[in-house]
Amino acid sequence: MAEPVLPEGILTLDRTDPVPLAEQIYRCFREAVRAGHLTAGTRLPSTRRLAASLKVARNTVNTAYELLKAEGVISIRGGAAPRISAELPPEGAAGEVVPGTAAPALSTRGKLLSENLRGEGWFRQPGALQPGAPALDSFPFEDWARCLRRAARLERSSDLHYQNFCGVEALKQQLVRHLAAERGVRAEPEQILITSTMQASLSLLAQVLTDPGDAVWLEEPGYLGARTAFHGAGLVIRPLPTDREGADASKVASGAPAPKLIYVTPSHQYPLGVRMPLARRLSLIQAAEDAGAVILEDDYDSEFLFSGRPVAALHGLAPEGRVIYLGTFAKSLLPGLRIAYCVVPKVLTEPLQQMMRNMGCAANVQAQAALAWFMDSGAYRKHLKQIRELYQERGNLLVEILQRRLGNRLEVTPPTGNVQVAVLFREQVDDIGIALAMQERGFAVSALSNCYMEAPRKSGLIIGFAGATRDQIDQGADALASLLEQFPTKLL
């Protein structure tokens, strides 16, 4: 039987290409089958004949044919010519939706977890005056780089294997000392769980401490990340009224179901920035005791206290197990480091450690080791002192300019800490529309009304100042003044 002849153009080899010739032959045949130029049953030349026609070694063709055989594209039987054994679908055909077939659908849990509760008016792209964004121009990159290099050079133990899902011991030891000295939080290293973000901590705790349908109290207005975590866990979220002294448990609607969790930001309430006094803290702890609830204390921006003395953390005031303390390095260092932590009761350490392993929600080991070096060297304490002064200066400048330019249109007070301020409009204005218009001008501010679950919603903006320059603040105030003239006020 005559040797089969391949259609012209099937095999094109480029001897200057770094891709091996055997790989090129394999790809050419595979593409020819996909394109329909070679159909099932087509005979192929023998390895000797094809090698001679291509002027390549016979082993090169053997290798290509073996690759095709391994994928089931050709069949090779002793004494017979190789044949195309299957037709491959055209490239990309697998991704096409065939009419009448069902596309993959989200589960009930998937729908909850994928919902965007931030809504319109919440910044989506980075820009000037972005809330929650620390100052890049003040970050000690050289000190941090030295710690990273040291961690990469010295950290070569089994810590880099499948352990430390709950955190590197050296970092836990540093946190034990830091929290005891700065926040009055007493804990053993095993009670500290290192996670990647505050959001990860909240999602983890919501999953392990509640069942779908349980109630949780969330500050009103409140942190949207917490609302997202609780919503994803299928919880019933009840507003916890907040005023100029923070959350007020006595104002929760009568008849509301007892909560399993109570989430608060007592150091700097998010987004209003107020500090919860001691009496209000003790009242909240008693409410949690009465309900049998666990308080999730997000000690938001407690590192940035510009004036007055710090109030003791709830964790140090409450009975053992009543409060879980949460913190993050996203504002004091950088969000991109992806290091946060929570201090949990001893009875929960073992199940939470196993859950973290099961879910795979561990933070990078070398970044944790570098942070431990950074804290131990005193660089972290030095950095906090510098940025407190810088952030206070920038926060006061923002408030001064807004009050001078727009004091008759809005209400804003100098921050006692924090990295952003809440600006309240004196009249009910479409703050979502204004926030979107500001974002179009390069200012990543967010609408205050998005932080409310129920009416009445206060109208205003959340404006970041930590990384803001004088020019950005001036330009932002100009843009806001112009927009307030354009947007009509609404009746309250």
For 32-71, how does the pLDDT look when each residue is reduced to its tens digit (9 = 90+)?
A: 888 888 888 888 988 899 999 999 999 999 999 999 998 8
Give CA–CA dist 316/179, Å, rounded. Answer: 10
Mean pLDDT value across residues 344-367: 91
Q: Which residue has the tokens 């206290």?
A: 305
Contacts 24+ apart (CB under 8 A), 180-189: 182/302, 182/303, 182/310, 183/299, 183/302, 183/310, 183/312, 183/313, 183/315, 183/316, 183/325, 184/312, 184/313, 184/315, 184/316, 185/313, 185/315, 185/316, 185/325, 185/343, 186/316, 187/325, 187/343, 188/346
Residue 325, Cβ neighbours under 10 Å: how many?
24
Q: What is the pLDDT of residue 154?
A: 67
Q: Quick one: 108 exposed, middle or buried, by C-beta within 10 A (0-12, 13-18, 19+)?
A: exposed
Q: Where are the beta strands (DSSP E) in 384-478?
A: 410-411, 420-425, 428-429, 446-447, 460-464
Contact 117, 451 (CB under 8 A): no
pLDDT of residue 8: 79
Residue 313 CA: distances (Å) to CA of 148, 179, 180, 352 = 31, 10, 10, 23
pTM across the whole model = 0.82
Nearest to 322 by CA among 343, 295, 342, 291: 295
Dihedral of alpha carbons 42, 47, 49, 50, sign:
positive
Average pLDDT over residues 111-118: 89
What radius of gyration do the chain's Cα atoms show? 31
Q: What CA–CA distance (Å, rounded) separates 216 from 256? A: 10
Nearest to 231 by CA among 196, 209, 203: 203
pLDDT of residue 418: 87
> What is the C-alpha separation between 383 and 165, in angstroms, rounded?
28
Mean of the pLDDT values across residues 284-297?
A: 96
pLDDT exceeds cutoff 80 at 272: yes
* Bridge partners of residue 241, in order along the sequence: 220
| pLDDT surpassing 80 at residue 1 | no
Q: For residue range 129-186, list pLDDT tens digits in order.
A: 999 999 999 999 999 999 999 988 866 666 677 778 899 999 999 999 999 998 989 9
Amino acid, single-letter form, for residue 185: V
Give the number of other Cβ atoms within 10 Å of residue 399's Cβ.
Answer: 19
Mean pLDDT of 179-208: 94
pLDDT for 100 equals: 62
Give yes or no for residue 471 having a pLDDT over 90. yes
Range 255-273 average pLDDT: 93
> Is residue 460 predicted with pLDDT exceeding 80?
yes
Sequence-distant (≥ 6) Cβ neighbours of residue 408 within 8 angstroms: 426
**Counting beta carbons within 10 angstroms of the beta carbon of residue 491, is it exposed (0 to 12), middle (13 to 18) or buried (19 or more)?**
exposed
Type of residue at 444: A
> Bridge-partner residues for 429, per DSSP?
489
